[in-house]
Structure 1
Amino acid sequence: MEQPLTYLQNLTQNDWLIADNSRQFQTIAEKLYLELTEILKQHHKPLKIILAEREPVKFLASFLAACAANCSVFLCNPDWGTQEWEQVFTLVQPDIIWGIDYHTYLTRAERPATANNTQHSSPSIQHSELIMIPTGGSSGKIKFAIHTWETLTASVQGFTEYFQLTQVNSFCVLPLYHVSGLMQFMRSFTTGGKLVILPFKSVESIQIPSIQPSEFFLSLVPTQLQRLLQNSELTQWLAQFHTVMLGGAPAWQELLEKARFHNIRLAPTYGMTETASQIATLKPDDFLQGKINSGQILPHAQVTIRNLQGKVLQPHQIGNITIQATSLALGYYPHPGENQDYLQVDDLGFLDDQGYLNIIGRNSDKIITGGENVYPGEIEAAIRATQMVADVCVIGVPDKYWGQALTAIYTPLDANIPTLEIKTVLQDKLSKFKIPKYWICLDSLPRNAQGKINRQALQQIAAEFLQNNREQATIK
């Protein structure tokens, strides 16, 4: 794969990007690149750039310029609040900030670098530019996974080999500062494909550019897919796509069945920020034939299933997922080298005889109630299957008798449906110890832009609610 400066110098066509102000892309990128090269002549050291541009074309042009100038670029969510920005400024201590005024987000007038009189040196890694992609922000402390142009293009190469493509056309409705959105740009830009960038709300209101969906990959999170399938016109539009990638959070069985019923060429994926997006994907033909797993492993990655002692397990044996990949992050800023060889993740799963990856759940989400191990995903799927809830999450709350008490926090489809009715339906579907003891009804559940639930927020909501309404939340 070519380096970012080569792409920037060879960029001549203007029709590859379909977005508002798309024709400004090359002008902005070249202007910023020249500015950075002049600044570098004065500094004689790598620059650290915070990139929080809200406008997509300016974001991507800034990203490419920073990479081409061999700067370290930190991708950031412009909608982070004061607490998140203080974390980021203290950690990064940037030389340049694009997209936000840092004074807006600080409780003091000075930058943390000045106030603390400390500096983090840039990691010493024998690679080109460093690309820091945020992770962990929805549950508290923000971390940046350290990537490079090489790790990101390794992911692109694995993707194109897996789908047997030379060009990738992407339709992006996901945040560009997140790996799920950024990699859509990388796939299209580095393979000479087209890239459509559109706010999801524009898709929902059917303000869609004229393209041939059959030539494009669309990426969605489960909550977005759910909303689009509620509109018959958008459902027909989805069914025209070459592939609809689905990731970011676990999808529930009812949603997958509905997509299959409407002949959506869905490709459920498994991956994370640390792996530069997916390392396993279920191909659409397999999905439409009834398979319900995360698919086979992409060529640039290897997955093994291990027990707690590190022994590699046989097919169909459940254990911890361990990943080796050329797209693997080099660690977390500012400490490179933590994940260079392999990554053992918190997820539990197994490989079947054909090498398809099956995800059971997160080990840290496991709930031990009355001595029994319970995985929330199974219970959430059963609750969704009642077709009485719009959203649900099952957590464990401390209980002096059970150790942890199963607690369902949910949004009903109909406010008039009593919780007891949901529980009654579950009695034929789940063992008694798997039926939640407490039920808390909310107007909506806290999720981030990728659809991931904020379990830390739910634990706090449940603790406060049960402290005052324990009897009300208990279904006799």
Structure 2
Amino acid sequence: MEQPLDYLQNLKNQDWLISNNSQYFYQIATELYLQLSQLSTQEKPPKIILAEREPVRFLASFIAACAAKCPVFLCNPDWGKNEWQQVFDLVQPDIVWGLDNISFQPATGNYQSPITNYIMIPTGGSSGKIKFAIHTWETLTASVQGFTEYFQLNAVNSLCILPLYHVSGLMQFMRSFTTGGKLVISPFKEVESYQLANINVSNFFISLVPTQLQRLLQNPQLTQWLSQFQTVLLGGAPPWDELLEEARFHQIRLGPTYGMTETASQIATLKPDDFLNGKINSGHILPHAKITIDNLTENLNIQAKSLALGYYPQLWINPGHFLVDDIGFLDSDGYLHIIGRSSNKIITGGENIYPAEIESAIRKTNLIIDVCVIGIPDKYWGQALTAIYIPKHPNRCTLEIETQLKSQLSKFKIPKYWIPLPNLPRNAQGKINRQQIQQIAEDFLPNI
């Protein structure tokens, strides 16, 4: 298997990276690799926190760390002080790249773990507790191989607008870097303001989260632009039916995906032709992965060559299998359907409710902009169904929404409480911060 330096040398004189300062990629990567190689002659290679904000320097630093077999921790430069304190206490780094004028006192003692030349990718930030999934060059390239085999590609061209420290952005780089494809890096704000790279997008993949797709579809020019892509991968958070219907109406070659940081991005994807023909699911399983369904709980059990080895600093005792919180099923044609998450299940009056169903019904009323449904502790019902939402028309009451829901849902599935907000707390990938939502609801409900 080729290693980072091999790919770096192969791409030395190729115009594969399209971004500001892209001409410095090879130079930065080579210089940093030589520096790290000298440091790595010591007893153990240095632990590196990588929080570079500039994309080219981030990617060059990442390749240098991988080539020098240093453990590298990918980090969000915009984390707050509490989050950074968590990271410094956990990692106790030897080198910090990209974090200026911030200093933290790490906890005393040093982890005696077997982590050496591993790649740590952050996950769990939206829950308030950051952890790092332990990956390797091999797990990341296994994901690339599964992707190229599934889509029958030799080279993958990607337009990346997602954060590079996140698995969704990093894997776009990995696909282009290891297959000799082109990578265009463009901030979402530039795309949204119609500052578009001069490329033939019909040969490119782009990855979006649902909230980004929704915003782009509000602009007819950008809708037309999206419809020209080879594939628009959609992940990060569950999409709602109306969003998918609108994308299909505009003939956007959407590829809804299922995956996570622990699996090095998607392990299931619905191919665009299936999507345009009316299918709504997460598609077939990619060739590097296998999913089985627990007979009792319906939770997904994942096996994949791209699967993480653990959470830093602990390696999993039984690697190769990953039982996840998601519940779903595989239909007779092998398509994966995700129902919801076990941890989000709401039990009210003895009835099991999955928020995704309620949220979808509320969106179909066309009276809200965004919504999240949760359960609030209730002494009579166990949990009371609560909708936190952004109203489309602030002066119109929730009675209109409830009236429409009565013909769509059972009575026990209609929220008891409605909390209007100007916006919902979502992260860069479009995932709801449920801890924050729960706190908002608990603060609000005493006033009802």
Query: Which TM bucket (shorter chain)?
Result: over 0.9
**CA offsets 1:362-387 (integer angstroms, 9 cap, x no match):** 00000000110000000000000011
Question: What amino acid maps onto 2:18 in structure 1?
Answer: I
Partner of 2:194: 206
Partners of 2:271 and 2:301 lie apart in 1 by 22
Provide Cα deviations, 1:50-78, integer angstroms capped at 9, x if missing partner: 00000100000000000000000000000
The offset of 1:412, in angstroms, is 1.1
Task: Tell me what 2:99 maps to.
Answer: 100
Counterpart in the other structure of 2:445: 466
The 1:250–1:339 alpha-carbon spacing in structure 2 relative to 1, beyond 3 Å, is farther
Equivalent residue in structure 1 for 2:288, among 300, 308, 322: 300
Displacement over 3 Å in runs of 4+: none
SS in structure 2 of the partner of residue 302 of structure 1: strand
Mapped partners of 2:13, 2:398: distance in 1: 58
With 299-308 and 455-464 compared, the bigger mean Cα shift is at 299-308
2:316 and 2:444 map into 1 onto residues whose CA distance is 43
Equivalent position of 2:181 in the other structure: 193
Q: 1:402 to 1:232 in 2, by over 3 A?
A: same
**Aligned equivalent of 2:88:** 89
Question: Per the alignment, in what secondary structure is the counterpart of residue 257 of structure 1?
Answer: helix
Aligned twin of 2:269:
281
- What's the counterpart of residue 166 of structure 1? 154
CA distance in 1, matches of 2:408, 2:348: 18
Separation of aligned partners in 2, 1:134 and 1:338 = 20
Decide whether the 8 Å contact of 2:386 with 2:415 is kept in 1.
yes
SS across alignment from 1:396: strand
> Hey, what does 2:309 align to over in structure 1?
330
Alpha-carbon separation, structure 1, partners of 2:248 and 2:30: 45
Are 2:351 and 1:378 aligned?
A: no
Cα gap change, 1:339 to 1:25, in 2 (>3 Å): farther
Change (3 A) 1:197 1:121: same
| Distance (Å, rounded) in 2 between the aligned partners of 1:117 and 1:413 | 51
Query: Which residue type is aligned with residue 102 of structure 2?
Result: T
Q: How does 1:317-396 map to 2 (within 5 A)?
A: 319-338=298-317, 340-396=319-375
**Within 1, Cα distance between the matches of 2:366 and 2:317?**
44
1:341: how far off?
A: 1.8
Residue from 389, 396, 420 that aligns with 1:410: 389
Asked if the contact 1:86/1:105 (under 8 Å) is kept, the reply is: no
Separation in 2, partners of 1:290, 1:11: 40
- Equivalent residue, structure 2, for 1:121: 112
Q: 1:232 to 1:288 in 2, by over 3 A?
A: same
Kindly indicate whether the alpha-carbon contact (under 8 Å) linking 2:71 and 2:115 is maintained by their aligned counterparts in 1: no
Aligned partner of residue 439 in structure 1, secondary structure: strand
Please give the residue correspondences for 1:432-471 in structure 2 after superposition, counting only pairs within 5 Å. Answer: 432-467=411-446, 469-470=447-448
Counterpart check, 1:73 vs 2:72: yes
* SS at 1:219 equivalent: strand
Task: Show CA shifts across 1:89-143 (max 9, x none).
Answer: 0000001000003x6253xxxx31xxx4300134257xxx200000001111111
Whether the 8 Å CA contact 2:160–2:206 is kept in 1: the answer is yes
Query: 1:230: how far off?
Result: 0.4
- What is the Cα deviation at residue 39 of structure 1? 1.7
Does the residue aligned with 1:401 lie in a helix, a strand or coil?
coil
Q: Is the 8 A contact 1:222 1:247 kept in 2?
A: yes
Q: Which amino acid aligns with 2:348?
A: T
User: Residue 474 of structure 1 aligns with which residue?
Assistant: none
- The AA in structure 1 aligned to 2:112 is S
The residue aligned with 2:7 is 7
Alpha-carbon separation, structure 1, partners of 2:148 and 2:396: 47
Give the conservation status (yes or no) of the 8 Å contact 1:423–1:435.
Answer: yes
* Aligned residues of 1:82 and 1:105 also touching (Cα < 8 A): no
The TM-score normalised by the length of structure 2 is 0.98
For 1:24, give the aligned amino acid: Y
Equivalence for 1:40: 40
Distance (Å, rounded) in 2 between the aligned partners of 1:34 and 1:122: 25
1:145 aligns with: 133
Cα distance per residue 1:304-358 (max 9 Å; x no partner): 00134xxxxxxxxx71100000000000000012461200000000000011000
1:184 aligns with 2:172: yes
Describe the SS at the equivalent of 2:373.
strand
Q: Is the deviation greater in 239-248 or in 3-12?
A: 3-12
> Residue type of the partner of 2:319?
Q
Change (3 A) 1:338 1:266: farther
Deviation sequence 1:384-415 (CA, Å, 0-9, x none): 00111110000000011111000000001222
Aligned partner letter, 1:73: V
In structure 2, the residue matched to 1:313 is none
Is the Cα contact below 8 Å between 2:39 and 2:45 reproduced in 1?
A: no
Aligned mates of 2:318, 2:374 — CA distance in 1:
29
Aligned-residue offset at 1:44: 2.7
Letter in 1 for 2:416: K
Structure 1 pair 177/124, CA: closer, same or farther in 2 (3 Å)? closer
Q: Partner of 1:25 in structure 2?
A: 25
Residue by residue over 1:215-234, the C-alpha shift from the partner in whole angstroms, topping out at 9 and shown as x without a partner, is 00000000000000000000
Secondary structure of the corresponding residue to residue 423 of structure 1: helix
Matched, 1:424 2:424: no
The 2-side partners of 1:47 and 1:105 are apart by 18
Q: Distance in 2 between matches of 1:273 and 1:228?
A: 25
2:246 corresponds to 1:258:
yes
Once superposed, what is the RMSD of the aligned Cα atoms? 1.1
**Counterparts of 2:136 and 2:343 in 1: how far apart (Å)?**
29
Give the whole-Å Cα distance in 1 for the aligned partners of 2:160 and 2:318.
29
Residue 58 (structure 1) aligns with: 57
